[in-house]
């Protein structure tokens, strides 16, 4: 009992220490409350695939390839087992100017949507530069998004993820970088990131990847407006907290019975 409370205090202290170490913390997707963009209207039929030229507005969020101020470069990555390379959008040169003005990629190299034929339906992908051998550049492009109102946390579902290199840059409205979140090594799943301290200043993001096999797609983009309705502790900390509170409650109940 005493050691449980000691562990609880230690866990909370660690959580607080971690909160000051990084601008964002990874949280459980299911712990966030907000609006979700599911992209399903873009490709409503099973296995539909569409190419989207120009800026996209979906679910109240604007999407494009990059922000004004970001230079579009090409990253070349050897393709396993082949002489060919895969070419990817690379936005690591320059940075967004104030206001986060979205720009679309060239026609046919901007965005697209694909319906996976499952319950989650369509997902959004970026289209990269045409590979030199003419193979499909689907999923190897950058995706950038600007929110109508800055948020405290965002979650997303990764699809077609094969543990490759992936970077999620979170920006403030003035164009400054909040954090470059390294998503490398991840497979398909739901992931979420929240601002430490609860400040709601994430105004947009850029997602780039060098993931094999059709890059990556995103789905079920979740935008949480404020920390007020979201559980800040990670699921493990929260479980520990509840266990500790339960133990204290049980102890408090036992005490009068002994008298
Ligand atoms: Ca969907
Ligand atoms: Ca592109
Ligand atoms: Ca992939």
| % residues pLDDT > 70 (the chain) | 80
The class that CATH gives domain 29-232 is mainly beta
Residue 230 is predicted with a pLDDT of 44
Distance 38 CA to ligand 1 centre (A): 4
Number of other residues whose CB lies within 10 A of the CB of residue 54: 10
Does the pLDDT at position 41 exceed 90?
A: yes
* Contact between residue 22 and residue 179 where contact means Cβ atoms under 8 Å apart: yes
Residue 75 is predicted with a pLDDT of 96
Q: Which residue, among 196, 204, 181, has the nearest Cα to 227 in the 3D structure?
A: 196
Q: Which residues contact 134 (CB under 8 A, 6 or more apart)?
A: none
pLDDT grade, residue 1 (50/70/90)? very low
Segment 20-33 mean pLDDT: 91
Segment 43-62 mean pLDDT: 96
Distance 44 CA to ligand 2 centre (A): 23
Return d(Cα 229, Cα 250) in angstroms, integer.
28
Q: For strand 187-195 and strand 153-162, is the pairing parallel, antiparallel, or unpaired?
A: antiparallel
Distance 201 CA to ligand 3 centre (A): 30
Neighbouring residues of the ion ligand 1, judged by CB less than 5 Å: 38-40, 120-122, 219
Q: Which residue, among 158, 62, 175, 77, has the nearest Cα to 116 in the 3D structure?
A: 158
Distance 81 CA to ligand 3 centre (A): 16
Segment 225-243 mean pLDDT: 62
Distance 73 CA to ligand 1 centre (A): 29
User: Which ligand has its closest atom nearest to the C-alpha of 77?
Assistant: 3
Instruction: Record the pTM.
Output: 0.81
Q: CA 185, 31, 26: angle at the middle one, nearest 5?
A: 35
> Of the ranges 13-17, 51-55, 104-108, 193-197, which one carries the lowest mean pLDDT score?
13-17
CATH 2.60.120 in the chain, residue ranges:
29-232
Q: Which residue, among 139, 144, 184, 185, has the nearest Cα to 166 in the 3D structure?
A: 184
Distance 219 CA to ligand 2 centre (A): 18
Segment 129-154 mean pLDDT: 95
Q: Looking up tokens 């393709």, which residue turns up?
A: 79
Does the pLDDT at position 74 exceed 50?
A: yes
The structure tokens listed for 12 are 């909370």
Does the pLDDT at position 236 exceed 70?
A: no
Side-chain-facing half-sphere of 225: CA atoms under 13 Å:
5
């Amino acid at each position: 009992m005493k050691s449980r409370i000691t562990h609880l205090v230690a866990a909370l202290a660690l959580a607080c220490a971690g909160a000051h170490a990084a601008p964002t913390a990874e949280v459980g997707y299911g712990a966030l409350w907000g609006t979700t963009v599911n992209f399903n209207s873009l490709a409503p039929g099973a296995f539909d695939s569409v190419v989207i030229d120009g800026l996209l507005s979906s679910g109240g969020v604007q999407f494009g390839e990059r922000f004004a101020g970001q230079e579009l470069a090409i990253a070349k990555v050897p393709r396993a087992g082949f002489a060919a390379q895969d070419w990817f959008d690379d936005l690591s040169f320059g940075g967004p100017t104030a206001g986060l003005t979205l720009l679309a990629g060239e026609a046919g190299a901007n965005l697209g949507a694909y319906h996976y034929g499952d319950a989650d339906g369509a997902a959004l992908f970026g289209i990269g530069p045409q590979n030199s051998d003419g193979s499909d550049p689907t999923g190897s492009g950058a995706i950038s998004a600007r929110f109508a109102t800055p948020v405290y946390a965002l979650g997303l579902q990764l699809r077609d993820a094969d543990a490759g290199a992936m970077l999620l840059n979170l920006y403030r409205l003035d164009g400054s970088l909040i954090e470059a979140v390294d998503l490398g090594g991840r497979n398909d799943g739901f992931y979420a990131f929240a601002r430490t301290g609860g400040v709601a200043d994430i105004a947009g993001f850029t997602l780039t990847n060098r993931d094999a096999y059709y890059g990556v797609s995103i789905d079920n983009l979740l935008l949480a407006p404020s920390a007020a309705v979201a559980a800040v502790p990670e699921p493990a900390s929260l479980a520990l907290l509840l266990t500790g509170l339960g133990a204290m409650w049980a102890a408090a109940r036992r005490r009068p019975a002994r008298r």
